[in-house]
Amino acid sequence: MLLRMLGMGTPMTLKNRHIWLLGASEGIGHAVAQLLAQQGAILALSARQHDKLELLAASLAGSGHLVLPLDVQNAASVVAAYQSLRKAWGMPAMVIYNAGYYEPMTTQKFELALVEKMLDINVGGAVRVLAQILPDFIAANAGHIVLVGSIAAYRGLPGAIGYGASKAALLHLAENMAVDLQHTNIKVQIISPGFVKTRLTAKNDFAMPQIIEADQAARHIVAGLQSNQFEIAFPWGLSTLLKMLRWLPARIYFRLLRSRRPAQQ
């Protein structure tokens, strides 16, 4: 029991587990799909880009993978994809919500449409997916829910309006579910990456400390999925530093960041 509480129990196998991976077409999701398939998982791949999903599915190890294109901003699209998945597999063993959108933005450059898009994809999409899977997981008293957040959730950062709020909401959502479901057999995890080289982080025009490749991020994530840890945060140094900053009083934290002027300002 103590080992389980510390996240040090025997790693859980991924072989033959049916996993629904949303946001699979590129970046972190693409790399995670490759690694999960190498370990024997059977994947349902979702994103908007049908062609990219087909190419990914054809490249994966193993067989039985599904391509389920959808738009997480459209509730009917999410419902249709999940119904197709249920018809093919029944209930999946795990759902990984990796769909996300990012635009660097300061308060001075506030754009309502972009902020709404970040909130709708990063949080609204997750809620639409949860509305489909939670009734099945709860009825079966089984399942594994994974939300991909960010270390940007820990405290307010320069140039992250909209994005930071959306990832903080995901962290809170995961914690809510973990508390509610702790006496069930439903596992909840939050992934909190730092900077990862993707199409989205290529929008940044500032130095990104400890930035890693997508395949490195995938190794952290897949290892974490097999643990009993609630949060999988990486890289260790940057994530630990930001966690420590959460303990600082606001006036001291703001003073530390006073010289951190985002390039957009």
Over the stretch 5-41, which tens digit does the pLDDT of each residue have? Answer: 434 344 578 999 999 999 999 899 999 999 999 999 9
Over the stretch 197-206, which tens digit does the pLDDT of each residue have? Answer: 777 776 776 7
> Cα 55 vs. chain centroid, distance in angstroms?
22
Spatial separation of the C-alpha atoms in residues 35 and 12, rounded to whole Å: 15
pLDDT of residue 11: 55
Residues 106 and 262: beta-carbon distance below 8 Å? yes
pLDDT at 3 over 70: no
Residue 103 carries which side chain, given as an amino acid letter? E
* Average pLDDT estimate for 107-116: 95
pLDDT at 230 over 60: yes
* Average pLDDT estimate for 46-72: 96
pLDDT of residue 118: 95
Which residues contact residue 238 at a Cβ distance below 8 angstroms, ignoring those fewer than 6 apart?
Answer: 151, 194, 195, 209, 210
pLDDT of residue 169: 96
**Structure-block tokens of residue 112:** 């309502």
- Provide the edge-to-edge strand list for the sheet that holds 186-193: 66-67, 42-46, 18-22, 94-97, 143-148, 186-193, 231-234
pLDDT at 191 over 70: yes
Mean of per-residue pLDDT scores for the chain: 89
**What interhelical angle do 112-119 and 163-180 show, nearest 10?**
20
As a residue count, the chain comes to: 265
CATH superfamily, with its number, for domain 2-256? NAD(P)-binding Rossmann-like Domain (3.40.50.720)
